[in-house]
Structures are given as structure tokens and as C-alpha cells.
Amino acid sequence: MLLGTLLAYFILTVSHLAGAIPTTHDHVKIETRTIDEIYQDALKEEGVLRVAWGGDIKVSQKIIVDAFTRRFPDIPLDLGVGLSKYHSPLIDRYWENSNFTDDGADVAVLQTLHDFPRWKSEGRLLNYKVSSWDDIYPEFIDSDGAYTGLYIFTFGNIIYKENSVDLPIPQTFPEFIHPRFSSGQITSAYPNDDDAVLYLFSRIVQTHGWDFMHNFSKQNITWIRGTASPGMLIAQEAGPTISFATSSVFASGLTITTHKDVFMSWPQTGTIFKSTKMPETAKLFLSYLMHDEWQQGITSGGYATRKTYDRLGVFKQEPQMHPLGYVNFMSDRRVVEWWRFQFEEILGPPQGRDPNLMDW
């Protein structure tokens, strides 16, 4: 029964794909309209712009929706924050259930970087080149304009609460394997729940061996779902005080520091689905994300896909960090799964609520 269903799905998908693969490339020109001119064209479209926004803390929805709506008050926006790994199957299922007429989202901004070339090869992406196209590192964009690296996220820096941590702050990960860190100080996102954290841990193990991981797992770590969650825990009065596998942007009062060990980064990537009924509005949204106004705020971490805002130089961090390492990692799911279950065997399956349902 299952096999039959799978086979039917496969045949359906393949035959559909064969029809959908574009025979010629659309050569789109770089956007020449100003953002306000795009806004005027977007106002002529009807409907609500649906955005699938990868994220694991609900406050991230408010930040982008408030900013966009303040700037473009007459564009109705339905932006759903959810784990990228769940947005992607939802989009595919919507596509299938709509008889391949609607992806269920007009725009997607996700960390599942392997999905973008697949959707492109299925003929599902609208080519678009934002006006700052030539300012974006070519490594982070699709040359036809099917998808765009919007900004650089990183994991692996050390985030801690000042005055709550025994100094000095470790300069390498094995320094965390010390009695001063073994009574509940450390918290971390599960590597087997988030592929970016997984890639970070794979780099750590490649550098320090499985020995490190076994020792680290005995350090009384508070493992938690969601990449923002460890930061939020640290920001609380009691509990863990330090992490190297979290983001710090949503918590206040935390210190973030670099070190001598490995870390990771990736271009959070955005695309417009060809099935959209609001192409100009979708272009407006993507253009806004790459516009100076938004880029100035989002790139406070020091790295950016736009050269203008890449203060620290994302391509100058080798060998500590390979800017294309995560893209390559994600492109081979066999490798991803291999690592995932290595860590799951050691840590057990991820426990806890969907991080977007947490109270912070």
C-alpha cells in the first residue's frame, strides 16, 4: 500500500516535472524601479501577500511585519513564522493538493538551502533581481535570479551572561569540558533538530573528534529546541549562563564573543514562487529585505550578503568558517542524515515544544 502510494507519487511528480522544466531561461534584467515605484505597482494588485518565514521564535514575526507594514501600510501581509524544515514540506504539499497551481506562499525565506535549486529545477521559481543585485556576492545568488541570499546568519560564537560565568571565556570548544562548566551552566540547541546547528557540531567533531562530543554530552547540558531558545534561557535570572549554539539577537543583556575555534554561517535565502498572483508585491517584499533601510538594521552582526554591509568580511574567515560550507552540506541529504543520527544516538531525540510556541 505504502509502496504503491510512493510509486504513484513518484510517477506523478516526475511526469509533472518533465512538463514543467523550462526549455529556455528567462533572462531578467536587474530591477531599475525605486522601492517607492515598486510599491505603487504593488498597490495595483489585490490580495494578501503570503510569506513563509523560517524562524524559531515568534517575536521574529512582529519585527519584520511591523517594519514592512510601517513602510508600506497598504500592503496586507500574512507572514507565518515556522521552522524552515516544516515550511518546506507544507509548501510542497500545498503545491500537490492544488494540482500544481499554487505553492501556498508567494515568497519563502528559509534556511533549507537545498530546496531552492530543487524548486528551480521544477520550474516553480520566478526569476527576479533586486536593484542591489551587483552588490551581492555572486556566491550567494542564483545567476538567473531564481533565489537570493538575503543576509548572513551565524552560529558558533559564544554567548553568555556577564558576571555569571567563570572567566576566562573559552577560546576553543574543548575548554568547555571542565568542572567549572559541569553544573548546569551550558545550554545548547539540539544539533539533531536544526540543520545549521547540526553543521556547526559536524565541524566541531571534525576538528576535535567524537571524543569531544562524548565528553561534552556528560557536562550536564541543557539541550533545548529552537536556536533562539538557549539565548532566551541565558537571559533569564536563574539557569544556564553560556552557549555556543544559539542566536543572541532576540535576548537582551547578553554578551557575544568570538574565539579561536570553528563557527558556521549561511546565507538566509529568499525566493518568489512563479504561482504567485501578486508578483509585484512579492518583488516589493524581496526588494525591501535587500534595501539599505532593512539591511542596515539586520547586519549588525557584521556579515552580509551585500558587500556594502559586510563589515567583517564573510569570505575572510577561513579556515575558522567556510561561507559555502553549509550550502554544500545541505545539498547532500545523505550526509546531513548521517550526521543527524550520529548526534541523535548520543543525545536522544529532540525533546520539548515547538520553539515558536514557547512563551518568549
Ligand X SMILES: *[C@@H]1O[C@H](CO)[C@@H](O)[C@H](O)[C@H]1NC(C)=O
Which residues sit at the interface with ligand X, rule CB under 6 A?
A: 99, 174, 177, 182-184, 208-209, 211-212, 215, 220, 222
Partners of 54 in the β-ladder: 82
> With respect to ligand X, which residue has the nearer C-beta, 214 or 311?
214
- Give the sign of the dihedral formed by CA 320, CA 324, CA 330, CA 334: negative
> With respect to ligand X, which residue has the nearer C-beta, 184 or 350?
184
Query: How far is CA 101 from each of CA 12, 22, 93, 275, 277, rounded to the nearest angstrom?
Result: 14, 16, 12, 6, 11
> With respect to ligand X, which residue has the nearer C-beta, 147 or 181?
181
* Shortest Å distance, C-beta 213 to ligand X: 9
> With respect to ligand X, which residue has the nearer C-beta, 117 or 174?
174
* Shortest Å distance, C-beta 319 to ligand X: 19
* Shortest Å distance, C-beta 182 to ligand X: 6
* Distance of alpha carbon 230 from the chain centroid: 17
Reading phi first (left if > 0) and then psi (alpha if -120 to 50, else beta), residue 100 is in left
> With respect to ligand X, which residue has the nearer C-beta, 39 or 176?
176
* Shortest Å distance, C-beta 210 to ligand X: 9
| CB neighbours of residue 294 within 10 Å | 18
> With respect to ligand X, which residue has the nearer C-beta, 246 or 305?
246
> With respect to ligand X, which residue has the nearer C-beta, 123 or 184?
184
Residue 43, exposed/middle/buried by CB under 10 A (0-12, 13-18, 19+)? middle
* Shortest Å distance, C-beta 184 to ligand X: 3
Between the two ends of the chain, the Cα-to-Cα distance in Å is 43
* Shortest Å distance, C-beta 214 to ligand X: 7
- Quote the CA–CA distance of 223 and 218 in Å, as a whole number: 12
* Shortest Å distance, C-beta 244 to ligand X: 15
Show Cβ contacts of residue 266 under 8 Å, excluding neighbours closer than 6 positions. 111, 113, 152, 153, 196, 326, 327
> With respect to ligand X, which residue has the nearer C-beta, 157 or 215?
215
Classified as helix, coil or strand, 250 is: coil
Partners of 87 in the β-ladder: none
Classified as helix, coil or strand, 314 is: helix
Tell me the H-state helices in the chain. 2-20, 35-42, 59-71, 84-97, 115-121, 195-217, 229-235, 279-290, 292-298, 325-330, 333-347
* Shortest Å distance, C-beta 48 to ligand X: 24
In the complex, residue closest to ligand X by CB: 184
